[in-house]
Amino acid sequence: MARFLLATIPLTGHFNPGAPIARRLVERGHEVRWYTGSIFRPKVEATGARFVPMRAARDFHDSTVNDVFPERAALGDFAKLKFDLTRFFIDSAPGQVADLEAELRDYPADVLVCDTGFVGASVLQERRGLPWAAFGITAMTVGSADTAPFGLGLMPMSTPLGRLRNRALAWGLNHVLFRDVNAHLRRMRAGLGLAATPRPIFDVPVSPFLYLQGTVPSFEYPRGDLPPQVHFIGPFLPEAPADWKPPAWWNELRESRRPVVHVTQGTLATEEPHLLLATLQALADEDVWVVAATGGPPVEWLGAGPFPANARIERFIPYAHLMPHVSVMVTNGGYGGVQCALAQGVPLVCAGTTEEKPEIANRIAWTGVGLNLKTKTPTPEQVRRAVRTVLATPDFRKKAQRLQAEIATHDAPTEAAVLLERLAETRAPVLTSRQ
């Protein structure tokens, strides 16, 4: 039996992928403790892990982000990304380290397992020598000569000219666009008594021991220089909650032959329901069902209505139940939701430009599984045309189904557990066998 310490940023998109890992480790007889936000305590305990609270680190959540960080809501897309990197991730690290070092005195874990936003992991390894593994909760941030650097939302180019472009962009990103973010990272490290590091912010989440990417290779850009500790293990798919009660309209949707269009803005991008309202308006007169999920806010967040007769609106619908009935998903590009759609062969329409969403939207377009509208505020006409195109073009679904078949070859929780067990046993990098 090994001792694992999970640690995740207290945001839903960072927490959820860890639940299948924790559950599988517990099922395989390991001891697991999980450090995260207090709102997740019931979900932590439901996996069989022991909850560890945040004390020195700030405990916030998707629904409280704008209260805790009121200045964030007014920022533009790129400024918001930089804000998140500094305030959510870098500024949280000292508190994370203080909390985990206190926990480790009582619980000498063999391995730390964290999401890729948990900056404190690499710091803890330097201070205590504790091996750590990262699980990817978004598009891969690993730098490469074959791709533009993460954060710019550009398609890959691996030709000689493309590699020259990529090197120039990487220099510009790290020394110009993200110069202040990287300087903030160095100041944080200095405050913890650590030497400056040449690693830029997007390289920090890449554990040198083990990196678990929650998708399949076909959804990621090819990289001839991919580090050998990176393993594609398939998406971390949520289980169907046993206590979920279907809404009154559920059987009507299941028994209908009309296509079902699902629309979501995820759980974090909830300042304004632009995409939800645009989709409801766009498809009001189409021969489809529109199932909208607010991601947490009450239905009243969308206004007083009335809503179209073909619309069904809920705060949350488990994807394990919903996705088998969906024909097209309209999304702002949340990584977990996109992976859930592809696991059921569902093509996508993506409209997202905040945080890392442009990277995910580009991968949707690059793989041919959907359309990228390249805006977070599409007009109803843009949404209508995109949904009609995806429904009328079988190639989108065929390509989504190819990814579905590839995803079906993986069991992410088990593969993660086996690799983590190897890391706990060897305390050395767990490398792939790919050539």
158-208, pLDDT tens digit by residue?
999 999 999 999 999 888 989 999 999 999 999 998 887 767 888 888 899
Question: CA dihedral defined by 123, 129, 135, 136, rounded to 10 degrees?
Answer: 40
- DSSP strands (E only) in 54-148: 111-115, 132-136
Query: Residue 435: its pLDDT value, please?
Result: 46
Query: What SS3 class is residue 19?
Result: helix
- DSSP strands (E only) in 140-242: 210-213, 230-232
CA–CA gap between residue 162 and residue 325 (Å, rounded): 41
Structural Rg of the chain based on CA atoms: 21
The CB-side HSE value for 248 (13 A sphere, CA atoms) comes to 0
Contact 27, 103 (CB under 8 A): no
pLDDT tens by residue, 205-257? 889 999 999 999 999 999 999 999 999 999 999 888 878 899 999 998 888 88
Compute the mean pLDDT over every residue in the chain, rounded to the nearest whole number.
Answer: 92
Query: What SS3 class is residue 235?
Result: coil
Tokens 């001839």 -> residue: 224
Q: Is the pLDDT of residue 36 over 50?
A: yes
Q: Which residues contact 353 (CB under 8 A, 6 or more apart)?
A: 77, 361, 374, 375, 376
CA–CA gap between residue 56 and residue 89 (Å, rounded): 14
Q: Is the pLDDT of residue 434 over 80?
A: no
Q: The tokens of 230 are what?
A: 């990176």
Contact 348, 327 (CB under 8 A): no
CA–CA gap between residue 278 and residue 21 (Å, rounded): 36
232: number of Cβ within 10 Å: 24
**Packing angle of the helix pair 179-191, 93-106 (nearest 10 deg):** 40
CA–CA gap between residue 123 and residue 293 (Å, rounded): 38
Q: The tokens of 243 are what?
A: 């206590």
Q: Which of 200-214, 267-281, 287-301 has the lowest mean pLDDT?
A: 267-281
pLDDT tens by residue, 123-161? 999 898 999 999 999 999 888 999 999 888 899 999 999
pLDDT tens by residue, 314-369? 988 999 999 999 999 999 999 999 999 999 999 999 998 887 899 999 999 999 99
Q: The tokens of 189 are what?
A: 């490290």
Query: What SS3 class is residue 380?
Result: helix
- pTM value is 0.91
Strand partners, 134: 114, 211
CA–CA gap between residue 287 and residue 345 (Å, rounded): 21
CA–CA gap between residue 136 and residue 261 (Å, rounded): 28
CA–CA gap between residue 41 and residue 50 (Å, rounded): 9
DSSP labels for 211-232?
EEESS-GGGS---TT--TTEEE
Contact 401, 218 (CB under 8 A): no
Q: The tokens of 130 are what?
A: 């504790």
Interval 384-406 mean pLDDT: 97
Task: Name the more confident of 54 and 299.
Answer: 54
Query: Residue 284: its pLDDT value, please?
Result: 95
Q: The tokens of 353 are what?
A: 């430009």
Share of the chain above pLDDT 90, in %: 72
Measure the CA angle with vertex 190, ends 187 and 193; round to 5°. Answer: 160
All domains of the chain in start order, with CATH = 3-234+410-426 (3.40.50.2000), 250-407 (3.40.50.2000)
Q: Is the pLDDT of residue 296 over 90?
A: no
Helix/strand/coil (H/E/C) assignment for every residue in 267-279: CCCCCCCHHHHHH
DSSP secondary-structure letter at 301? G
Share of the chain above pLDDT 70, in %: 98
Query: Residue 255: its pLDDT value, please?
Result: 87
Interval 106-121 mean pLDDT: 95
Q: Which residues contact 253 (CB under 8 A, 6 or more apart)?
A: 260, 289, 291, 312, 325
Q: The tokens of 8 are what?
A: 């995740």
